[in-house]
Amino acid sequence: MVSGRTDVDGPIHADYRVTMTAAFDSVEALVFDMFGTVVDWRSSVSVEVAVHLRDHVPDLVPLEFADAWRAEYQPSMERVRNGDRKFVRLDVLHRENLETALRGLDVDPDSIPATVLDETNLAWHRLDPWPDAVAGLTRLKARFIIAPLSNANIRLAFDVAKRAGLPWDAILGAEVAGAYKPDPDAYRRTADILGLEPQQVAMVAAHNSDLAAAQSLGLRTAFVRRPTEHGPDQTIDLEPTGDWDIVAEDFEDLADQIG
């Protein structure tokens, strides 16, 4: 497979493109990472916290707070993955992580009305899609079953989809599978729910680690570049680091290649 769309001599040759897309001949479903791949969580969350927390958090820097809140994401899920706590939906983890992020700024969460914190937590339900997301997904839907394979809970993913106009065929992911990526069960159970073998499902993500976990279980893979997910100084996931089946600049490019 080819990890990229250009080579040293210019655009990828036609025979390379055939090789890249042939793996998708038997694929029936595309499942998508949501946070960062489909939606711009950082910008969206920063807008929300600026509105809801500005009167309660001195010297709030919304983008920095969004980053601090997001930094608690993986550690909180890891406690579920390693068995330290039972599975709870991401809304619960986000609410706990919000309080942790506030404490990191020496702000006592109890000093802020619970209604304000609850409304702030719903920032994750009001995420804006990347500009190419809706059009690209709509094109891909014509050929494939499309659904999120996200760590988001069902209501969160549903609210984002309704607000953003994401044309999913189904809402799948952690709450449906009862496991958080990259736990193998998150991928295996999603394929099983769709009534498909792993090789009939392709994981689409802007994160190499997500694709590596999916590939190890037999899923096909598509890397989509999102070089500003973490802001202008992003240092991770700028390039594909694995032997992914497809590398695309955005969802429109992905649809050009396999749609």
Distance from C-alpha of 251 to C-alpha of 72, rounded to nearest angstrom: 28
16 contacts 5 by C-beta, under 8 angstroms: no
The whole-number pLDDT of residue 20 equals 63
What is the tens place of the pLDDT at every residue in 72-124? 999 999 999 999 999 999 999 999 999 999 999 999 999 999 999 999 999 99
Domain range for residue 191?
A: 6-38+130-258
Is residue 1 a part of any domain in this protein? no
| pLDDT of 216 strictly over 50 | yes
Whether pTM exceeds 0.85: yes
Quick one: how far is CA 219 from the chain centroid?
17
Give yes or no: residues 80 and 188 share one domain. no
Give yes or no: residues 223 and 249 share one domain. yes
Give yes or no: residues 195 and 223 share one domain. yes
Give yes or no: residues 174 and 253 share one domain. yes
The whole-number pLDDT of residue 19 equals 53
Distance from C-alpha of 149 to C-alpha of 172, rounded to nearest angstrom: 5
Model confidence at 22, pLDDT cuts 50, 70, 90, reads confident
Contacts for 36 with CB less than 8 Å, ≥ 6 apart: 206, 207, 226, 229
Is residue 152 a part of any domain in this protein? yes
Distance from C-alpha of 124 to C-alpha of 156, rounded to nearest angstrom: 7
Distance from C-alpha of 52 to C-alpha of 173, rounded to nearest angstrom: 28
Domain boundary (98, 125, 152) is at 125
Model confidence at 10, pLDDT cuts 50, 70, 90, reads very low
Domain boundary (125, 153, 176) is at 125
Q: What CATH number corresponds to the domain at position 204? A: 3.40.50.1000
Length of the chain: 259
Give yes or no: residues 29 and 66 share one domain. no
The whole-number pLDDT of residue 91 equals 98
> Coil, strand, or helix at residue 189?
helix
Distance from C-alpha of 68 to C-alpha of 179, rounded to nearest angstrom: 24
Average pLDDT value for residue range 146-171: 97
| pLDDT of 41 strictly over 90 | yes
Model confidence at 220, pLDDT cuts 50, 70, 90, reads very high
Q: What CATH number corresponds to the domain at position 84? A: 1.10.150.240
Name 247's bridge partners: 223
The whole-number pLDDT of residue 160 equals 98
Name 32's bridge partners: 148, 204
Is residue 14 a part of any domain in this protein? yes
Is residue 92 a part of any domain in this protein? yes
Distances (CA, A) of 242 to 2, 56, 84, 141, 163: 10, 44, 31, 26, 33
Give yes or no: residues 30 and 66 share one domain. no
Mean pLDDT of the chain: 93
Q: Provide the number of structural domains found in the chain.
A: 2
Average pLDDT value for residue range 245-252: 98
Give yes or no: residues 193 and 251 share one domain. yes
